[in-house]
Each structure stands twice: as structure tokens, then as C-alpha cells.
Chains A and B, each alone.
Chain A
Amino acid sequence: MAEIVLDKVTKRFRDGTEAVQEIDLTIADKEFLILVGPSGCGKSTTLNMIAGLEDISDGELRIDGDRVNERSPQDRNIAMVFQSYALYPHMTVRENMEFPLTIAKLDKATIKQKIDEAAEILELGPYLDRKPSDLSGGQRQRVAMGRAIVRKPKAFLMDEPLSNLDAKLRAQMRTSISRLQKSLGTTTVYVTHDQTEAMTLGDRIVVMRAGIVQQIGTPQDLYERPANLFVAGFIGSPTMNFLPGELVNSSIATAIGEIPISDRLRSGLSEHGPTGRDVIVGIRPEAFEDSRFVDDQTAFTFPHDIDIVESLGSAKLAYLDVDIDARAHEHFAEIAQESGAEDVFGSQQIVAQLDARSPVREGDSMEISFRPDDIQLFDPTDGTNLTEHD
């Protein structure tokens, strides 16, 4: 049980790469915190610095108020679950889980009791005498969890612990990790590059990009009030749609028509004072609806041809080709390339998630609505959100 504080923590590798830049973060006792971001953004490095596996180049790391920068991993009492599980192949499941306890020199009876307890929680009872090589991926993952929980550490660190599992198992393990963390109440830092995992697991999420923290907030915060283009595009699935727009009087001129500026947007805009008249309009696919199912008078409606329809069962995804590319903006192109999702990130297509009852078919022309208040406006030069108040 511990509070972990990162105070302007920086990691500079010997070759000069700044993998993590001045990260400021307070992880509350019992909190489940997620570090999320595209591959190479410095998540593992941050986690390794908390663990003590990487030196901290600058800044201070405090656990329960004590500076621990100089403490070796074995003196920090933190457990870690690795992406590869890192089980000791020459030991049985039982020996693997006993390892931290034997090192801590606990007596035999206590060790046995703790192992039985952990095996019970993780349903590993029948496998205690097997070697890791005789286990399935999911079982190995649970052994790795078991090795972490047996000694009641101050905190758990998990580096993409589920990324080696198939989708179904991943969803299962996600819920069991969440339940386990709640019942143990141990401070947990969890690294993932998967936004769905981040959104479903975390109390709070830290979004990182190229070693810099973009936003820290609850899943709700990140979804509803993304601090910038990057967070807006990274969080949410399908990805948010981005359209270049121009501010004209009380509306925004875009490829899908003149969208009126709502009160919320107006006060945000006046606070931020955008540099020019150009903006990037962000609209979540979920904000769209087939007009036939909308009776909101304030809704903005536009007609458009539908190019592709995908049925998800619970909803339909309609793809609309628009002929303006948000990536014409330099900053945007950079982000799209960095997140490795150029095909979905600001493509010349709008994705609209419609009611499953919508009769829309490919090639149809239809009316689509959304509430003008549901959009976000971003500065095309640096990506900041122009409609949010700090």
C-alpha cells in the first residue's frame, strides 16, 4: 500500500535519447493507474524507473514520501509482471511463486499458506507442480500474477501483461485483473498500448507521446475532454473523425456544411483565442446518428452518400468519403504518422456509428445528424483543444 510520486522524472539514455521528459505524476494509494501511448513513447521506461530497473536521470521518485531514486529494486518492495511473464523455466509453478518468499526468508509454513492462498485466488491449484513450459499462455500469465501477489508488495507494476494472449482470453483476464486489484487494494501501475484496455481498467489514465505526458485523467475525462488532437485520436474506438474547418461568424465552415457554434464552444474559443481562423473539427463516430432516429431540434443535419456499411450487431458503422484531408495540416500529419494509424487517423473518410435499426445500405444517400455541442475544436498548428476549459 503506497503512494508513488514522480517529480519531474526524466530518462536520458546514454545515446542521448530522452525517452521520458519531466513526468509529473502522483499515484494515490490503492489507485489503478494506466500508462498508455503508442509503441516507443516511453511507457516501459517510466515503469522501469519506478521499479528501479532503470536509473532516473533527473527528478525524484518518492514512495510513501521517501526518495527512492538510489534504492535498488530489491529494496523497493515492488512487484512486477512482465509482458513475457519471465517465469523461471527450471522451477515449477509452486517454486516460481515461492521464489520471492524464500528470498525474503519466510518460514516454510507461512510460505505454504501464502502459496495456497494465491493458488486459490488464481485457480492454479492443479498446476502447482508443473513447469512453465507445460502451461498455456493464460496459465503462465496467472503464475506471473501469482508471483507478484504472494508477498504483498507496496505496488504492482505491469508491463503489457495481456498482450501475448488472444483476444478472448485478454478480455477475461482484464476483468480478473481488475477484480484482483480491487480486492487486494494494492497501488498498481499498468502499461498498455491498447486504449480499450486502458479505458476499461484504469481509475486514471496517463496518455504519453514521445516521452511527454499529454493528459492525465479519468477515462471519462479523456473521452469527453481530450486535451489535444493526439489524445482525441488515441482514445476511443472507432477513432474520432477530424475535419478541417474555418471559423466564419457564428459557424464553422466544413466539408459537411456550416456547423453552428454552440455556447460551450464559443466560450472556449474566446478563452483560448485561436491564432487564425483555421480549426480542426473533431467529431466522435458515436456522436452521429441516422436523422430518422433523432428528434432533437438543435441537431445539425447533413445529407451524404454512404460508401460502406459495416454491421456490428449492436450498431452500424457507415463510412462517408469526404474530399478534404485533415492531414494537409503539418501537425496533424505528424501525429497520424506517429501513432502508426495513418489509415484511420484523419483519413478522407468519416465514420459514423448509427443505430442498429437504421435501414441504411451501401450507396444510399441519407441524412445524418449530430449535436453541434458534441464536437471539439483543435488548433491545427499545435493540436491544443480550443473548446475545453482547464
Chain B
Amino acid sequence: MTGAQIRWSILNLVVVVYALVPVLWLLSLSLKDPSTFTDGKFIPREWTFDNYKNIFDVGEFTRPLINSIGIAIIATLIAIVLGVFAAYAIARLDFPGKNVMLGASLLIAMFPQVSLVTPLFEIERRLGLFNTWAGLIFPYVTFALPLTIYILASFFKEIPWELEKAAKMDGASPFQAFRKVIVPLAAPGVVTAAILAFIQCWNDFLFAISLTSTDRARTAPAAISFFTGASQFEDPTGSIAAAAVVITIPIVLFVLFFQRRIVSGLTSGAVKG
């Protein structure tokens, strides 16, 4: 190894350790018996799955987990479908107001969400959306869209326009050209956008805590904040740690599963190359 490689390796190691320590800490806490939380040991002396059993047995976590999964998946799907069409229009068509539209979506992405909580709360209460899945799906779609539109538009722009023309010449209708040629080529972009949108919805705490009041629509991150011990004297730390580990699992699986699909460069060989 050259000096430069060693230096890079050390730097990498520092970054990885820095990022992983809190996660491992959480994992360690979730596997400890409540009586040993403060024993100062990073590696639990006695391993136990009681914390995990507890959160599902008591039932205060199962329903929020289902809410989380359902709401995040639906919001992601809607954002992707709308995003695909919007991004395609932005990448391919030349229409008046195109830049205004892009600017507006960027503006939404930058908007301080905190300032929206109170008005949204009022609006949703009057519309009967408060404490429902739809009441969370709406703001989630809104805030996931700018991101998906940006990612997808940049992927669509990468796809040579001639491919679409070729498909038309081969007898395909515009929709067939879109579905059989453009969508498969944009698939890595769609997956990337979907993962990011899903993570964004999954991780939300602000809207989840403000726009729900019961387990009917409360998502996992919000539910965790309501964890209490079985009695006043019981420490909920173990349950919280276990729940936190549980809600990171889908994300990790999601990314691992799609990692290979996120590789770009699928379009190589389309043209000249």
C-alpha cells in the first residue's frame, strides 16, 4: 500500500466508526437487561431479547409499525407515479412555465416544515383528515415529490431522445415507447428516488407527532416517543432502543436489496458509445 492509500484507509475507518458507534450503542442497549443499562459496558454482559418481546407483547408498537409501513409505502408510490410523469415532462417537453415549476418544487423542498404544522393541523381537523392515514400521506407526498422529480428528471435527461424516436418509428405508440423503452432505462432512477422518498416518509417525526392523536394513524417514530415503562418506576430505555433498531431494519434491507439496481450506466451502448 502506498502512503496515500493508507491515509485514505484511516480516514475511511474514522468515518465508518463515527457513523456506526451510535447505531451499535443502540443495538447494545436493546439487548441489555434493564438492570445493567448503567453498568458502563458497551458489550452486554447478559444478552436478552426481552426488550424486543416487550414492545410487541404490550402491543403499543405493533399498530404504529403497521401504520408506518402502510403510510410510507402508499406515499412513496404516489410520489413516484406523479414524479415519473412530471419529471418526464420536464426532461422532454418544452412548455411555458417549466422553469417556474421546477423552481416551485425546489421551494417546497426548502420550506420550513415546522411552520406548516399548525395550519395543517387546523386544516386537517376541519376536513376530518386529522389522525388518519390520508392526513399523513398528503404532506408526505408533497415533500417527497420535489426530490423524486429532481432525481427522475436527471435520469430521463440521460436517456437519448433518439431511443424514443426509434421506438415510435418501430411502430410503438407514445405510451408504449414510454413503458417499454423509457421506464426500463429509468428504472435505476425510479428505484433511487423510491428509496429516498421512502426513507423521508419513514423517518418523519414532526408531522407524525402533530397530525395524529391515537394509534389509528400514529407512526412508529411518534409512537416511540410515547413509550413509558410498565410502571412509573420502570425505565423505557430498553424498549425505545429495541423499537429504534426495529425501525432501521426495513431501511437497511431496502438499500441492500436494491443496491445493485441503483448502479447507473445502464444506458451505455444505446448510442455510439
Contact call B269/A51, Cβ cutoff below 8 A: no
Instruction: Give the contacts of A72-97 with B (CB-CB under 8 A).
Output: 72-74, 77-80, 82, 84-90
A103 surroundings in chain B (CB, below 8 A): 170-172, 176
Question: Does chain B have a CB within 8 A of A99?
Answer: yes
Given A89-B267, A90-B185, A74 and B272 contact (CB-CB distance below 8 Å): no
Interface core residue of A85, A86, A87, A133 (most chain B CB under 10 Å): A86
Q: Which of B40-48, B117-125, B158-166, B194-202 contacts A (4 or more CB under 8 A)?
A: B158-166
Given A84-B160, A90-B185, A72 and B168 contact (CB-CB distance below 8 Å): yes
Instruction: Give the contacts of B243-273 with A (CB-CB under 8 A).
Output: 266-273
CB<8 Å pairs between A and B, sample of 12:
A51-B169, A74-B171, A74-B172, A79-B169, A85-B271, A87-B270, A88-B166, A89-B269, A103-B171, A103-B172, A134-B269, A147-B166
B273 surroundings in chain A (CB, below 8 A): 133
Contact with A along B175-211 (1 / 0, CB 8 A): 0100011001100000000000000000000000000
Known: A73-B168, A90-B266. 16 other contacts (CB 8 A): A51-B165, A52-B168, A53-B169, A77-B171, A78-B169, A84-B270, A85-B271, A86-B163, A86-B271, A87-B270, A88-B270, A89-B266, A103-B170, A104-B171, A133-B268, A137-B272
Contact call B166/A132, Cβ cutoff below 8 A: no
- The count of residues in chain A whose C-beta lies closer than 8 Å to any C-beta of chain B is 33
Question: Does chain B have a CB within 8 A of A135?
Answer: yes
B181 surroundings in chain A (CB, below 8 A): 88
Contact call B271/A84, Cβ cutoff below 8 A: yes
Measured between alpha carbons, how far is A265 from B181 in the docked complex, in Å? Answer: 59
A78 CB to nearest chain B CB (Å): 7
Question: Does chain B have a CB within 8 A of A371?
Answer: no
Contact with A along B12-44 (1 / 0, CB 8 A): 000000000000000000000000000000000
User: Which residue of B is nearest A84, CB measured?
Assistant: B271
Question: Does chain A have a CB within 8 A of B173?
Answer: yes
Contact call A89/B268, Cβ cutoff below 8 A: yes
Contact call B272/A99, Cβ cutoff below 8 A: no
Contact with B along A88-119 (1 / 0, CB 8 A): 11100000000110011000000000000000
B173 surroundings in chain A (CB, below 8 A): 74
Instruction: Please provide the 10 A-B residue pairs with the shortest distance between their CB atoms, ordered closest to farther.
Output: A133-B269, A84-B271, A86-B166, A100-B170, A132-B269, A89-B270, A86-B162, A80-B169, A73-B168, A103-B171
Question: Does chain A have a CB within 8 A of B73?
Answer: no
B174 CB to nearest chain A CB (Å): 8
Measured between alpha carbons, how far is A129 from B189 in the docked complex, in Å? Answer: 26
B169 surroundings in chain A (CB, below 8 A): 51, 53, 73-74, 78-80, 157
Measured between alpha carbons, how far is A135 from B185 in the docked complex, in Å? Answer: 19
Contact call B269/A87, Cβ cutoff below 8 A: yes
Interface core residue of B162, B167, B169, B266 (most chain A CB under 10 Å): B169
B176 surroundings in chain A (CB, below 8 A): 103
Partner of B160 from the list A53, A86, A104, A135 (CB cut-off 8 Å) is A86
A178 CB to nearest chain B CB (Å): 22
Contact call A131/B168, Cβ cutoff below 8 A: no
A71 CB to nearest chain B CB (Å): 12
B95 CB to nearest chain A CB (Å): 12
B173 CB to nearest chain A CB (Å): 6
Measured between alpha carbons, how far is A351 from B17 in the docked complex, in Å? Answer: 75
Measured between alpha carbons, how far is A132 from B185 in the docked complex, in Å? Answer: 14
Question: Does chain B have a CB within 8 A of A209?
Answer: no
User: Which residue of A is nearest B185, CB measured?
Assistant: A90
A79 surroundings in chain B (CB, below 8 A): 169-170
Measured between alpha carbons, how far is A86 from B180 in the docked complex, in Å? Answer: 14
Contact call A85/B272, Cβ cutoff below 8 A: yes
Measured between alpha carbons, how far is A189 from B55 in the docked complex, in Å? Answer: 73
Measured between alpha carbons, how far is A104 from B176 in the docked complex, in Å? Answer: 12
Question: Does chain B have a CB within 8 A of A298?
Answer: no
Question: Does chain B have a CB within 8 A of A151?
Answer: yes
B165 surroundings in chain A (CB, below 8 A): 51, 53, 73, 80, 82, 86
Question: Does chain B have a CB within 8 A of A164?
Answer: yes
B69 CB to nearest chain A CB (Å): 31
Measured between alpha carbons, how far is A137 from B272 in the docked complex, in Å? Answer: 7
User: Which residue of B is nearest A131, CB measured?
Assistant: B269
A100 surroundings in chain B (CB, below 8 A): 170-171
User: Which residue of A is nearest B165, CB measured?
Assistant: A53
A133 surroundings in chain B (CB, below 8 A): 268-269, 273
Contact call A147/B170, Cβ cutoff below 8 A: yes
User: Which residue of A is nearest B161, CB measured?
Assistant: A86
A79 CB to nearest chain B CB (Å): 6
User: Which residue of A is nearest B270, CB measured?
Assistant: A89
A84 surroundings in chain B (CB, below 8 A): 160, 162, 270-272
Contact call A99/B170, Cβ cutoff below 8 A: yes
User: Which residue of B is nearest A88, CB measured?
Assistant: B181
Given A82-B162, A88-B181, A103-B176, A132 and B270 contact (CB-CB distance below 8 Å): yes
Contact call A82/B166, Cβ cutoff below 8 A: yes
Instruction: Give the contacts of B84-120 with A (CB-CB under 8 A).
Output: none
Interface core residue of A53, A104, A147, A157 (most chain B CB under 10 Å): A53
Measured between alpha carbons, how far is A373 from B180 in the docked complex, in Å? Answer: 61
